[in-house]
Amino acid sequence: MRFRESEPLTGDDAFDEQPAERPRRPWLLMLASLMLVVLVAVVWGKWSESRTEADQLRAEVKQVYREAETLRTQAVQAEQRLALLDQQVRALRAERTEWLQRMESAGAEKPVAAKPKPAPPAKRPVRPAPSARP
């Protein structure tokens, strides 16, 4: 099949050489790049905020651990004091029992335990009398 030479086409089918146009800008690519820049800025801002919060939380956790350790130390010291006081109470009771047994064996009267004195009544603050103002 041979192509015959024909007259130039006119209208929509014509291929006329047009003067050189500026190259088309890829608007979609530019828009995507701009959106990527905005997205990176937002993510970086959120990351910065979360990093700051994480640092603050780490500082709070350290403070809580310090306070907990202080409370544990105080609890251990209180338990040691309690054990010492309990030991002293047992020693005093044993000593008292021994003295009572010695007194009974010697024929002395059994001492009567002294009653504790009642606490004095608490003093109430005296309110000044309301002044009569006309």
For residue range 52-102, list pLDDT tens digits in order.
999 999 999 999 999 999 999 999 999 999 999 999 999 999 999 999 999
**Residue 99 is assigned to a structural domain of this protein:** yes
**Residue 44 is assigned to a structural domain of this protein:** no
Residue percentage of the chain with pLDDT more than 70: 70
**What's this model's pTM, rounded to 2 decimal places?**
0.46
- Provide the residue range defining the domain that includes 86: 77-109
The answer to whether 110 and 103 have CB atoms below 8 angstroms apart is yes
Beta-carbon contacts of residue 111 (< 8 Å; ≥ 6 apart): 100, 103
Using only C-alpha atoms, the chain has a radius of gyration, in whole angstroms, of 49
pLDDT of amino acid 46: 97
* Average pLDDT of span 22-27: 80
**Residue 60 is assigned to a structural domain of this protein:** no
Residue 127: what are its φ and ψ, rounded to 5°? -90, 135
**Residue 89 is assigned to a structural domain of this protein:** yes
**Residue 2 is assigned to a structural domain of this protein:** no
DSSP state for residue 12 in the 8-state scheme: G
**Residue 95 is assigned to a structural domain of this protein:** yes
CA 94 from centre of chain: 51
The answer to whether 37 and 43 have CB atoms below 8 angstroms apart is no
**Residue 45 is assigned to a structural domain of this protein:** no
* Average pLDDT of span 102-131: 72
